[in-house]
Amino acid sequence: MKKLTLIFAVLVAAFCTKAQDLVPPKLNCLEVLPGGDVDISWTKPDVEPADFSHYEIFFSITNINFVTFLTVPNYTDEFFSHAVGTADNQPQYYFMRTVDITGNTSEHSDTLSTIFLTLNGQSFIAPIAEMLWNPLYTPSVMDTAEGTYFIERDIGNGWDIAGDSQFGEEAYSELVQVCHGLEDSVLIGYRVTLPHPSGCISRSQDRTGKYRDVNPPTLPDIETVSVDTATNNAVVCWYPSPEGDTQGYIVQEVVFSGLDTNYFTVDQTNDPSILSFLYNVSDASDMVEYFVVIPFDSCVHSGNTMGNTNGNINSSYMHQTIFIDTELDRCLREVTVNWNKYE
């Protein structure tokens, strides 16, 4: 009896040891393909069990009631394309485990969800693209993936990087700065990617929204308005507007006449790198001259310099030349120099 008990204990110990030695693959990436299929990438366990049989891949569309949809017989395999066809409509959930020839199984790997992107601009035209998506890991653990999402954008000439967001902040928004030309709106595609150190990439489905650029560029800060002492002509210098679609600048002279304020365009540059203007017909030697600089973008939207409804200009965007006036007192043999405050 003691001998049978000892043999049974040895068998149980051997069984438990084998089960404990089994390690699941590290599930790394889920890439949603056009049409809703999913590419699955993983890293095989560091050591192949002597009695390795296969990997099992489990799948669910609800994150419960997982089913085994595939067995992978080769230990070295680290990729499979799942022709599920629905990942562009809802998240898909996966995990894996290792199985030996006696049917022992490892713990299952981390559960990964395909990244499902929601995007505004579907039923209405929007000036801001707003995105939300689910985290890759379920629950949200981050032990093997990099922590930065990259948001890719396609305005019709290929995908580029629009911005990024840290893992745990599954949201992104941006002002649309793409001209829609004669159309009512422009179609812009977005998708979210999450690179992995192994070289694979998790990617959401592509989503397209309708957008309209209604935002003019930010008014630039004027650096200086000065007078060239060699010519007595006014010189205006300014800093660039921060918007990437700024196409150029309009320089206007502001003339006050009684209660009226008039704006006269004295220059326009269609090169956003030009940030200065020499006023060749300036009267700066005889009077104070006032200037504003107005940017325009690819949709020919112009920044607004008006400060309120009665037409008075916002003084923070207007600069003026310094005009010097002298008064000679012959009796005192003194010259008084007066000038206006630079604003």
**Distance of alpha carbon 201 from its chain centroid, rounded?**
17
Say if residue 124 is in the same domain as residue 138.
yes
Residue 10 lies in a domain: no
- Count of domains for the chain: 3
Which pLDDT does position 313 carry in this prediction?
45
Q: Are residues 160 and 202 in the same domain?
A: yes
Q: Do 136 and 228 reside in the same domain of the chain?
A: no
The verdict on residue 56 lying in a domain is yes
Do 109 and 135 have their domain in common? no
Q: Are residues 206 and 237 in the same domain?
A: no
pLDDT digits (tens, 9 = 90+) for 103-145: 999 999 999 999 999 998 776 777 889 999 999 986 655 444 4
Identify whether residues 134 and 55 lie together within a single domain: no
At 36-58, the pLDDT tens digits run: 999 999 999 988 888 999 999 99
Number of helices (H) and strands (E) in the chain: give both, helices first. 1, 25
**Among 290, 283, 225, 285, which residue's Cα sits nearest to residue 256?**
290
Residue 13 counted as domain residue: no
Q: Which phi and psi (to 5°) does residue 77 adopt?
A: -65, 140
- Which pLDDT value is given to residue 181? 62
Same-domain status, 322 and 227: yes
Residue 141 lies in a domain: yes
Considering the domain architecture, whether residues 107 and 137 belong to the same structural domain is answered as no
Assigned domain for 192 exists:
yes
Return all residues near 329 (Cβ < 8 A) that are at least 6 apart.
335, 336
Is 187 among the domain residues? Answer: yes
Same domain membership, residue 310 and residue 243: yes
Question: Does 86 reside within a domain?
Answer: yes
| Whether residue 123 sits in one domain with residue 107 | no
Indicate the residue among 113, 139, 163 that finishes a domain: 113
Q: Are 236 and 315 within one domain?
A: yes
Q: 139 in a domain, yes or no?
A: yes
What per-residue confidence (pLDDT) applies to 341?
82
In order along its 343 residues, the chain shows pLDDT tens digits of 444 444 444 344 444 444 557 999 999 999 999 999 999 999 999 888 889 999 999 999 999 999 998 999 999 999 999 999 999 999 999 999 999 999 999 999 999 999 999 998 776 777 889 999 999 986 655 444 458 999 999 988 899 999 999 988 999 999 887 776 656 678 899 999 999 999 999 999 999 988 877 777 888 999 999 999 899 999 999 999 988 778 899 999 999 988 888 999 999 999 999 999 999 999 998 999 999 999 988 776 666 554 333 334 455 578 989 888 878 878 888 888 787 887 6
Please check whether residue 303 is in contact with residue 292, taking contact to mean a CB–CB distance below 8 angstroms. Answer: no
Instruction: Identify the CATH number of the domain in which residue 133 sits.
Output: 2.60.40.10
Domain extent, residue 308, equals 222-328
Q: Which of 211, 240, 263 is the last residue of a domain?
A: 211
Domain end among 211, 235, 265: 211
